[in-house]
Copies of this chain bind each other. A is one copy, B any other.
Amino acid sequence: MIIIGELLNSTREKIRKALAEKDAAFLQDLAIKQQDAGVSYIDVNAGAFAERELDVLEWLIKVVREVTDLPLSIDSPKPEALALGCRLAGDDVILNSITAEQNNFRSIVPIIREFNTKVIALPMDHTGLSEDEGKIFSIANSLIESLGKEGVSPDRIFIDPLIRPIATNTVYGPLALNLIRRFASSFPETRRICGLSNVSFGLPKRKTVNQTFLIMAMASGLDAAIMDPLDEALMSQVKAAQALLDLDPYCMNYINAMR
């Protein structure tokens, strides 16, 4: 299981404030805490700063790099922010994200190639977000094929089922789980990823819904997540899930983590 720590995201009020006030200590503390919790990547997002995004992102990456060498996930819809992040972040970057919409695809592929990055692939095109499992699957399929033609091998692709809030429609739960299962069986060399925060939007006790969804998704073939690694109950369940999926020989990671 690859865990991407989601906390350094400017859409979160505390982070936006810390970035605006250049409170490096607060942000570095969160970077270190996420590292200590065992994440493989730290997501960095300065998108809330609109036209100042690039400056803020540059400062954020510099500040994070003072305390950890963990690889980063560079999180922006703007190709120029992604390219800047790659120049500053060092090796093994994940770009968050690319879509099948042609302008987006064409502007992000050169960055993947130049910096030899991994990438989170969102199966949506110029028609936007579909609710049809077959259509989403078919966009995912052609997105992976298109990336392959550009030299991006499946093992560098994290494909995302685009989970939406079940509070708006409970069909979104099975939709996401079915897609993860189909991605796992049809594209076994890719990773299957999702962001956790969306699924529980609008419901009480969101952490319970997030935890439950993550475990169900892991049982369906998810092997990466953008999530809060400081949620101890969530992390314990991820470790239990890995043992239950026979991904933790002798349950040693689980046992060590619990003691």
Residues of A bordering B, CB below 8 Å? 166-167, 170-171, 173-174, 177, 199, 203-205, 208-209, 211-213, 215-220, 233, 236-237, 240-241, 243-246, 248-251, 254-255, 258-259
Contacts and interface: CB of A to CB of B under 8 A. Distances in A.
Per CB-CB distance, the 6 closest pairs between chain A and chain B, nearest first, are A216-B219, A173-B244, A212-B240, A204-B258, A215-B215, A170-B246
Contact of A212 (B208, B220, B241, B259): B241
Given A236-B205, A248-B170, A241 B216 contact: yes
A251 B170 contact: yes
B212 A249 contact: no
A85 to B, nearest CB: 33
A213 B244 contact: yes
Q: How many copies does the complex hold?
A: 2
A206 to B, nearest CB: 10
Contacts of A173: 243-246
Nearest to A256: B204
A9 to B, nearest CB: 24
Contact of A244 (B216, B241, B244, B250): B216
Contacts of A177: 219, 244-245
